[in-house]
Chain A
Amino acid sequence: MRMPRLAGDGVWRWLSGACVALSLLAVVALLALVVTRGLAHFWPDDIEQLTLDNGERIAGIARDSEAGERRYFTANRDLDGQVWQWIETQAIETRETPPDLLYAERRDWGPFIGRLTAVDTSAGERLQGDEAERHLRQALAGNAEITTLHLRNVEGRAAEVAFAQVASLSWPNRMDVGDKLAAWGHGVWRFLSEAPSDGNTAGGVWPAIFGTLLMVMLMSLVVTPFGVLAALYLNEVARQGPLTRLVRIAVRNLAGVPSIVYGVFGLGVFVYGLGGRLDSWFFAERLPSPTFGTGGLLWASLTLALLTLPVVIVATEEGLARVPVALREGSLALGATRFETLRRVVVPMALPSMLTGVILAVARAAGEVVPLMLVGVAKLAPEIPVDGEFPYLHLDSKFMHLGYHLFDLGFASRDAEAAMPLVFATATLLVVVIVVLNLTAIILRHHLRARHRALEHS
């Protein structure tokens, strides 16, 4: 039986609407998950002290619970050999949040949860009790010097920590919301501005942010002129025929080549081929240790430039094709040469499309990880590739990348479980970096478009 025509209309509308809603929901859910879990990591949660029915005492931060069980992050890897503990809720006799429990992040062995017993000052004095705490607070603010902290866990076992090993220290149970907010802000800032420590599971991601941005910028610098000139040739110079059509199809298909293939190509051609040649010509004295003959910033940027080239070419070509023939002819009819027409009429009008191409290229490049693993990304390269030493920008150096850091944190680190919140935080950051990069380009494009606003209306 045929559906009534109007009913078909309605179904079609609902179906397409539902698909849009579903897509939106997926995006929102993804962002919400990543952002909330990422940002929550920096919130100083209360530390609970539990007394179990067998008399055991445990201090930790409640993370998640399943039927009848709750998981605590108990830290103190050096004392317990583990940082997570599942506790049966029935076994818990008391739950309290004593104000003197502290949470210290150490550069080795991960965080410590426990109490302060004493501090050693640089003068060799040992201070105890309230005085120790007062002195510690001064030291944290930078007004006093301490060599060693004497801590003990809730069961009384002692641990010594050199003050230099302490990345941060707080008493979360004493903090009000304002303090926690400040501590949260501080935590976020440290994450953004510090280098990773403790096998990447602590500290910040600044070198990775910098590496990602720098690599994307270098890549844009390479891909934009190449892509635009190639598109200009294909669209404006080359005789339109079967050959140009073939080239066009090839370029479009290049965009579909898996990125690992580009990685292999980069490794073979750039790193071993070009890099090896450069080394034997200019850095022979350092051989066999390679200078350019190993993965690095330059080769990674070039590989990604190659990967994103089709995107720029296709977008530019579309922009060029959209410039009306009437305007080209109008310019030529005024005595302009083809080059003058191109420079003064065609290219200015196609500029927004070229920028769209670059935006798409940047978005793709910033998120691409796989080829980088072959051509220069490093698990840990705390030194950023720009410094005060000639040639200031070190194109041969390895670099860190947010995407790879994410992979490393989540799947290659010592304690993937503990690093999980950092995975989310890094993922959030990666999304933010890409959004910021895109916004910059979009704003730039908007400014250009304002000049050609009328074109958009016609």
Chain B
Amino acid sequence: MSAASFSAAETQRLSSAVVDFPSTSSCFDIEALSLAYEGKPALRDLTLRVPRHRVTAFIGPSGCGKSTLLRGLNRLHDLNDQVTRQGCIRLEGQDIHARDVDVAELRRRVGMVFQTPNPFPMSIYENVAYGVRLQGIKRKRELDEIVEWALQSAALWEEVKADLHASAWTLSGGQQQRLVIARTLAVRPDVLLLDEPASALDPISTLKIEELIRGLKSQLTLVLVTHNMQQAARVSDYTAFLHAGELVEYAPTDTLFTNPRLRRTEDYITGRVG
């Protein structure tokens, strides 16, 4: 059973028709996006809409382009000269690659949590206050409030409130990842991108992160990249399956996992191909 047995046209027809919600409630509109690293295509002609205040999961085998897509959403690829892009990404209707877009402001609005926890070598407090200070907020009381709110939102406050000035590196992996989430929430983003946020964590920490993701969708839009299909099934509302840089199938999570339209999707989620 090989992916090549489907023509590109067929895939396109199937995937674009599946997810249907009013365009006013879409957060990201991705249109005909292609990305290439050093000329090698990583994403091909990808079109998809990410709904607001929902959890959308990107799944697919390693190298399918799901992380590449995620990093495209906050323009982290800008740092790499080797990346070329075609197509368009709109956030709340505005093209994120437009000339007048302030990349730093875009990245504040579209927060990102990475695969391995990456707290700065500073205290817990300073980690959370980092982004807030960049916004020009300097008053101690205001900072204190935001830090506490963010840590509570990330379900970390109770564990660290006794010693906020301890080094962030003394926390466990799971705590560090929640700290990174708190740090991101502190700058009040509209979107939170999560790049396999639990892949480096133990099952209990993973559970906590998943609870957190479910709880956060009332506040913001979440986009989750994961290679763990159970995780996608547990936390996401919509799931997109990518393969070899192409969007294969995109559907409400329940539908995709219980009744995939394509044989290729079914093979992947049942573990026959991967």
Seen from chain A, the residues whose Cβ lies within 8 Å of a Cβ on chain B are 239-240, 324, 326-327, 329-337, 340, 344-345, 348-349, 451-455, 457-458
Residue contact B114 to A335, C-beta cutoff 8 Å: no
Set of chain A residues within 8 Å of B79, measured between Cβ atoms: 329, 332
B167 to chain A, nearest CB (A): 5
Q: How far is the CA of A326 from the CA of B76 in the complex (A)?
A: 12
Least CB separation from B110: chain A residue: A333
Residue contact B121 to A452, C-beta cutoff 8 Å: yes
Q: How far is the CA of A402 from the CA of B111 in the complex (A)?
A: 58
Least CB separation from A340: chain B residue: B134
Given pairs A334-B108, A335-B134, 15 additional interface contacts (CB within 8 A): A327-B118, A327-B120, A327-B121, A329-B112, A330-B120, A334-B131, A334-B134, A335-B105, A335-B107, A335-B187, A340-B134, A345-B120, A349-B121, A454-B167, A455-B121
Residue contact A334 to B107, C-beta cutoff 8 Å: yes
Residue contact B76 to A335, C-beta cutoff 8 Å: no
Residue contact B104 to A326, C-beta cutoff 8 Å: no
Known contacts: A334-B130, A349-B121. The answer to whether A326 contacts B112 by CB under 8 A is no
Residue contact A334 to B184, C-beta cutoff 8 Å: yes
Set of chain A residues within 8 Å of B107, measured between Cβ atoms: 332-335
6 nearest CB pairs, A to B = A335-B108, A454-B169, A334-B131, A333-B112, A326-B118, A330-B118
Set of chain A residues within 8 Å of B134, measured between Cβ atoms: 334-336, 340
Which of B104, B119, B131 interacts with A337 by CB under 8 Å? B104
B67-126 with Cβ < 8 A to chain A: 74, 76, 79, 81, 104-105, 107-109, 111-112, 114, 116, 118-121
Q: How far is the CA of A452 from the CA of B111 in the complex (A)?
A: 25
Set of chain B residues within 8 Å of A337, measured between Cβ atoms: 104
Residue contact A331 to B130, C-beta cutoff 8 Å: yes
Set of chain A residues within 8 Å of B112, measured between Cβ atoms: 329, 333
A-B contact pairs, 18 of them (CB 8 A): A324-B118, A326-B118, A329-B114, A330-B118, A330-B119, A331-B120, A333-B74, A333-B112, A333-B184, A334-B107, A335-B134, A340-B134, A344-B130, A345-B120, A451-B121, A454-B170, A455-B121, A457-B169
Set of chain B residues within 8 Å of A329, measured between Cβ atoms: 76, 79, 112, 114, 118
Least CB separation from B170: chain A residue: A454
Known contacts: A335-B108, A335-B131, A344-B130. The answer to whether A330 contacts B76 by CB under 8 A is no
Least CB separation from A328: chain B residue: B79
B219 within 8 A of A: no
Residue contact A336 to B104, C-beta cutoff 8 Å: yes
Seen from chain B, the residues whose Cβ lies within 8 Å of a Cβ on chain A are 74, 76, 79, 81, 104-105, 107-109, 111-112, 114, 116, 118-121, 130-131, 134-135, 167, 169-170, 180, 183-184, 187
Set of chain B residues within 8 Å of A455, measured between Cβ atoms: 121, 169
Set of chain B residues within 8 Å of A330, measured between Cβ atoms: 114, 118-120, 180
B210 to chain A, nearest CB (A): 21
Residue contact A336 to B131, C-beta cutoff 8 Å: yes
Q: How far is the CA of A206 from the CA of B160 in the complex (A)?
A: 56
Set of chain A residues within 8 Å of B104, measured between Cβ atoms: 332, 335-337
- Chain B CB within 10 Å, residue with most, of A240, A327, A333, A344: A333
Set of chain B residues within 8 Å of A458, measured between Cβ atoms: 169
Q: How far is the CA of A344 from the CA of B118 in the complex (A)?
A: 15
Q: How far is the CA of A336 from the CA of B129 in the complex (A)?
A: 12
Set of chain B residues within 8 Å of A334, measured between Cβ atoms: 107-108, 111, 130-131, 134, 183-184, 187
Set of chain B residues within 8 Å of A345, measured between Cβ atoms: 120
Set of chain B residues within 8 Å of A454, measured between Cβ atoms: 121, 167, 169-170
Set of chain A residues within 8 Å of B105, measured between Cβ atoms: 335
Least CB separation from A335: chain B residue: B108
Least CB separation from B108: chain A residue: A335
Least CB separation from B115: chain A residue: A326
Set of chain B residues within 8 Å of A332, measured between Cβ atoms: 76, 79, 104, 107
Least CB separation from A455: chain B residue: B121
Q: How far is the CA of A454 from the CA of B168 in the complex (A)?
A: 9
A308 to chain B, nearest CB (A): 28
Least CB separation from A323: chain B residue: B121
Least CB separation from B114: chain A residue: A326
Q: How far is the CA of A324 from the CA of B112 in the complex (A)?
A: 16
Least CB separation from A454: chain B residue: B169
Q: How far is the CA of A336 from the CA of B121 in the complex (A)?
A: 16
Q: How far is the CA of A349 from the CA of B120 in the complex (A)?
A: 10
Q: How far is the CA of A348 from the CA of B121 in the complex (A)?
A: 9
Least CB separation from A333: chain B residue: B112
B83 to chain A, nearest CB (A): 14
Least CB separation from A458: chain B residue: B169
A333 to chain B, nearest CB (A): 4
B128 to chain A, nearest CB (A): 10
Q: How far is the CA of A348 from the CA of B118 in the complex (A)?
A: 16
Q: How far is the CA of A345 from the CA of B131 in the complex (A)?
A: 12
Set of chain B residues within 8 Å of A344, measured between Cβ atoms: 130
Set of chain A residues within 8 Å of B184, measured between Cβ atoms: 333-334
A306 to chain B, nearest CB (A): 32
Q: How far is the CA of A451 from the CA of B6 in the complex (A)?
A: 56
Q: How far is the CA of A370 from the CA of B116 in the complex (A)?
A: 52
B105 to chain A, nearest CB (A): 6
Which of A335, A348, A452, A457 interacts with B135 by CB under 8 Å? A335
B235 to chain A, nearest CB (A): 21
B12 to chain A, nearest CB (A): 31
